[in-house]
Each structure stands twice: as C-alpha cells, then as structure tokens.
Amino acid sequence: VTAWLAELAWLGGEGLASDVVIACDGAGRLVRVAPGQAAPADAVRLRGVVLPGLANVHSHAFHRALRGRVQSGAADFWRWRDRMYALAAVLDPDGLFELARAVYAEMALAGMTVVGEFHYLHHRPGGGPYADPNAMGRALVDAAAEVGIRLTLLDACYLRGGFGGEPLAGVQERFGDGDAEGWATRVAGLAAPVDPGATRDHQGDAAGAGSGRGGVDGQPPAGWRLGAAVHSVRAVDVPSMRVVADWAARNAAPLHLHLSEQPAENEQALAATGCTPARLAGDAGALGPRTAAVHATHLAGDDITLLCETGTAVCLCPTTERDLGDGVGPADRLAAAGCPLSLGSDSHAVIDLFEEARLVELHRRLVRHERGAHDAPALLGAATAGGYRALGWSEGGELVLGALADFVVVDHRSVRLAGLDPARGAAALVYGASAADVSDVVVGGRTVVRDGEHVGLPDVAAALDRSIRSLGERL
Ligand SMILES: [Zn+2]
C-alpha cells in the first residue's frame, strides 16, 4: 500500500476537503480516501489541491506540430485541413512515435492521465500497408506507455472522400482500409495482446529512440485499451458504419465519431440523404451509451433528443472549435437533457483541460447573454469522470474506493490560484487554474510528474522541439 496525505482534495461538490488520506494497493486501485484523518507515518505529503486525473477524450497527437503555424491569417476550416494534410503526408511510424511521445508528455504535465487518440493515419503514403499494418497505431500505444499515461486507441474507419462516394485521394489514401471489413481485419491484428517487454520495432528496423520502453520507472505501462471510431458520416457510409458499430458492440468498446463540426457537413448530409449526420449515425446503430459524438456543434432538428435518448455522450473541444471557427455547440441544452459531457484538446492548439472546461460555460455566456448553465462541479466532472467513461475506463476519474489511483496535484499557491477559498474550490479550479499549475501526477499509484517535471522525459519542451523541427519545411 502506498499512502499520500493531500492538503486539500476535490471529492465532488463545490468545496474542497482538508487533510485527505489517499492510499492505493499494488494493483493501482484506491483502498482509502479519508478526509480529516491522521496520515500514516510514511505517507507522501501532497502540497496543493488533489483532484482526479484529467481525461483528454479527443486527440490527434500529430496536430500539435501545427501549433503557431496555422492559427494566424484568414482561412476557413477546409484551408486548415489542407495544411494538416500536408503534415499527415510525411509522418512515418518512428516520426509519429517521437512526436506523440512528446505530446503525451505535454499532456501528462498538464494533468492528463488518460488520452483518447482518434487515429486514422494508418498506412504508408499512397495507401499500401506497412509490414505491420498497425505500425502507426502501435507507435501511439508505445508513446503513451513510455510517458506513463493511459491510452484508448480509437482506431478510425475512413473509406471515402465524401457523400458522393468519392474515392480517397492524395494523403487520404493513407487513412483507408478499402472497406469496413478491411478495417475490421486490420483492427483484429491490433487487438492481439502486446507483450509489454517486447522491443519496439515499428518497421522492421532496430528500436530507435524508444529506449526505456515499459513505462515510467521501468514499471509496466499504465495500459491501453482499444476503441473504434467512425471518422465522420462524410467518410463512412451507413452500411459500413453499421459494421464498425457492430464490432464495438461485440467488443464492448467505445465508439467515437466526429459529428456536425461544420455546417457544410450538415448541408452535404441533408442534400445527399435528407438526414442530419446524427440521424445517419443513429440509423447505422452507431449511437448508444458507449458512443461519444465529438463536437456536435451544429445539431439540428431532433438531434439533441436522438443523442440523449440513445445515451450517447458528447465530447466538446472548445479551444479547437474556437480556433477553427467551428461555432459554439448547444452544450447547455445537451447537459440539461442528460447528455454526458466530456472534453478534448483535439488539434492541440492548446493543451489545458481547465481551459476546455471553463470555455464550455463561457462560450455559452457569449452566445446566450446569461450565466450559469454549467456549474463548476459539473465542468470538473466532464474533465474527469465523464472523460474516463467516454474512453472506456469507467473505473477511473473519481477519488472513491476501488477506483484507479489516478490523480493530480494543483498548486493553489500559484499567482493564478492564490487566495483560493476551499469552500468554493471547484469554481476556483475551473475559472482560475491552468495546466501550468499542475505539480504532480500519479497514474495507477505511480508518480509520472513530480514538482512539474516529467519523471521519464525530463525535458519535454526539448523533445517537442526536436520532433517538430525534424518535420522541417513541410510544416
Ligand atoms: Zn478530431
């Protein structure tokens, strides 16, 4: 048993508890969460506010290389996508591994203990498979393992260029598996057990910079799980969506899809089929309690009712949605209708889940000219338990007995949080904290970040810099 004594902790609700003893067993599960208790003599003291680990539900790790390169200047979503595609065209498994490892380490520093990687960059440029057809997916699995955070690999089916059945062209050829059965066959190989002691070997090469594979402190990795994704209703027809949905149901796996991020998707769906994207997904059996619809910005008609009646969750990505000019989704109406919400940093223009959480409420204030649709505990819940559930780790995201021992420490003595009132601690965290206030991160009982430093990758900024610069002028 490992024990900690948290100076303050968020256990749900508006306020914070004091002097909370937290202990976990050798399996990385919480066996004690006790406020106001005397700590065991060997307890590690945590100076700050402890809260459950943050769940980044929607990530495309490689988009991080575009930060600062695509934000400035006028261009719509589709022009941004051209720039993103130029980057997608040049990544190979080793390059993706290097970049993703640094990006996941940036996430760990920001307090993220689990990430959902929405992965569609599957094959060689031109579309042929690597020797291991899942070399790119395994690069992501290895990257998360090396920096000690949990991963749900949401392997995306991507089959066509649009509603007219246009064939994949250019860089999109890397995304496709031919048909949904091809997707399922490839994914079956990925689901095979991975030996955590195996040498990393993405392309038949000797292991490269992936030294120390096996996770932080040489311990077993935090673990990864497999989920399914439908890239979007643009990229996957209804019968193929049904194949993916059936696979997810058979495997009790999460199923994610981009939904109504752009008005053009709705217009094209309506013109081609007479249905909204949500209705198409529903007709394919792709909505349900294990499904998370990402963005859900431009819902129309009875889409909200459809999502809520099927128990579908929604993952909001406000910093990306504002960066791309997507719009502001109806998070308030979704929440009021009982839709479970979660959060993702998506394009990684920003990696800060406190920022994502507060923007859910703040964007709504700008649109509706009123305050208070989402209270602070609900927003923190979306950043923690809501995200864990959406990623298929429903045993995590809360500081309760039996839960995964995943938690973070936020330094409330920073200039941003100084003066915090513990009775209103949840609001202070949501509206005052930033990723830079995270001092310590524990995943499965193991310390991944200590005093603001990643334990396994001491200079995360240098790793990011090296990886992004290596992509060179293609950016
Ligand atoms: Zn996305």
Q: Mind listing the pLDDT tens digit of every residue in the chain (475 residues)?
A: 799 999 999 999 999 999 999 999 999 999 999 998 888 899 999 999 999 999 999 999 999 999 988 888 767 788 888 888 989 999 999 999 999 999 999 999 999 999 999 999 999 998 999 999 999 999 999 999 999 999 999 999 999 999 999 999 999 999 999 999 999 999 999 875 544 444 444 433 322 223 333 344 444 457 999 999 999 999 999 999 999 999 999 999 999 999 999 999 999 999 999 999 999 999 999 999 999 999 999 999 999 999 999 999 999 999 999 998 899 999 999 999 999 999 999 999 999 999 999 999 999 999 999 999 999 999 999 999 999 999 999 999 999 999 999 999 999 999 999 999 999 999 999 999 999 999 999 999 999 999 999 999 999 999 999 999 998 766 6
Q: Which one of 60, 295, 412, 454 is the catalytic residue?
A: 295
User: 260 CA distance to ligand 1 centroid (A)?
Assistant: 11
Q: Is 63 annotated as catalytic?
A: no
User: 155 CA distance to ligand 1 centroid (A)?
Assistant: 12
User: 16 CA distance to ligand 1 centroid (A)?
Assistant: 34
**Residues 6 or more apart in contact with residue 460 via CB below 8 angstroms:** 102, 105, 106, 109, 454
146 by Cβ neighbours in 10 Å (0-12 / 13-18 / 19+) ranks as buried
Q: Is 295 annotated as catalytic?
A: yes
**Residues 6 or more apart in contact with residue 82 via CB below 8 angstroms:** none
**Residues 6 or more apart in contact with residue 444 via CB below 8 angstroms:** 24, 28, 150, 222, 223, 404, 405, 406
User: 58 CA distance to ligand 1 centroid (A)?
Assistant: 6
Strand spans (E) along 222-365? 224-230, 255-259, 291-295, 313-316, 341-343
Please indicate, yes or no, whether the overall pTM of this predicted structure exceeds 0.75. yes
User: 283 CA distance to ligand 1 centroid (A)?
Assistant: 22
User: 237 CA distance to ligand 1 centroid (A)?
Assistant: 18
Q: Which one of 346, 411, 437, 440 is the catalytic residue?
A: 346
The structure tokens listed for 122 are 């599957």
User: 346 CA distance to ligand 1 centroid (A)?
Assistant: 5
Taking the C-alpha atoms of residue 368 and residue 357, their distance in angstroms, rounded to an integer, is 18
Q: How many helices (H) and strands (E) does the chain have?
A: 15, 16
Strand, coil or helix: what is 149? coil
